[in-house]
Amino acid sequence: MQDLHAAARRCLDAADPAEKVRLTFDTFARLTAGELAPDAASAPAGLIALPGRPARPRLVSTRQLSQRGLGTAEGRAALVRAIAHIEFNAMDLAWDAVYRFRGMPEAYYRDWASCANDEARHFMMLQGRLGELGYTYGDFDAHNGLWEMAEKTAHSDTARMALVPRVLEARGLDVTPGMIGRLRHQNDDRTIAILEVILSEEVAHVAAGTRWFHWCCARDGIEPEATFAQLLNDYMNGSLRGPFNLEARREAGFSESELAWLVTL
């Protein structure tokens, strides 16, 4: 039996996208086959650092990113690349959840390894679509916002579960239906089909965040909804931008009182 934490670190460290995807698929397959398991004797998680990344796309601040309309192939490709970058980061976020937080139930590690496997598949779908549009993943600049939140929450599994899946990834549940609607006006059925798969599967990822956030709160004897509000205030000045996809968030485990509170922000 080999150490799952070490395998997750290898996925994190891989810089080439194809290799990161290959390692992700292989690691998840080995975990489900019973060949990997968390090892209590594994070396403690190191200080968080940037995971392996290709030289391109270039990482810039969000203010430096160009805004392009969807009326051209370049504009649609820029949108597809932006989503591909989110999925690439989400792979690393899932593996860091496996690598960094020790002593969790086996189901926790299975959930986040499964999420990493899904994100890798999403990335490959989007990368293929980019190729059809005549572009590659590295052709447009990107930002590092998702990983910056990983750095801020590296010390706390509770904060990580609250703020990465239930805030940053849940944002995808909110905005993807609008993207699909805009792409319908461009008759881009190929991209729409990919986004519909991603939207459906991301609900389960946010639900995993809800499940393990509640588990962490129960372990620590703290109330989940008040804790979520406090973490949102501490890390994001208490603000989330709507509109919110209430039905998808409901499916992902948000309570009715949470949803009512969100729409007041």
State residue 238's pLDDT score: 76
pTM of structure: 0.94
Q: How is the chain split into domains, by residue range?
A: 2-262
What are the CA-CA distances from residue 124 to residues 35, 134, 227 (Å)?
25, 15, 36
Which pLDDT tens digits describe the chain residue by residue (265 residues)?
799 999 999 999 999 999 999 999 999 999 999 999 999 888 889 888 889 888 787 766 556 456 667 778 888 988 999 899 999 999 999 999 999 999 999 999 999 999 999 999 999 999 999 999 999 888 776 667 788 999 999 999 999 999 999 999 999 999 999 999 999 999 999 999 999 999 999 999 999 999 999 999 999 999 999 999 999 999 998 778 889 999 999 999 999 999 999 988 8
Kindly report the CATH class assigned to 2-262. Answer: mainly alpha
- The DSSP secondary structure of 143-211, one letter per residue, reads --HHHHHHHHTTT-HHHHHHHIIIIIIHHHHHHHHHHHHHHHHTT-HHHHHHHHHHHHHHHHHHHHHHH
Q: Are 116 and 24 in contact (CB under 8 A)?
A: yes
| Residue 264 backbone phi and psi in degrees, to 5 | -90, -10
Q: Are 219 and 210 in contact (CB under 8 A)?
A: no
State residue 66's pLDDT score: 60
Among the listed residues 74, 245, 98, the one whose alpha carbon sits nearest the alpha carbon of residue 176? 245
- The DSSP secondary structure of the chain, one letter per residue, reads -EEHHHHHHHHHH--SHHHHHHHHHHHHHHHHTTSEE--TTSPPPPPP-PPP--S-SPB--GGGSPP--TTSHHHHHHHHHHHHHHHHHHHHHHHHHHHH--S--HHHHHHHHHHHHHHHHHHHHHHHHHHHTT--GGGS-B--HHHHHHHHTTT-HHHHHHHIIIIIIHHHHHHHHHHHHHHHHTT-HHHHHHHHHHHHHHHHHHHHHHHHHHHHHHHHT--HHHHHHHHHHHHHTT---S---HHHHHHTT--HHHHHHHTT-
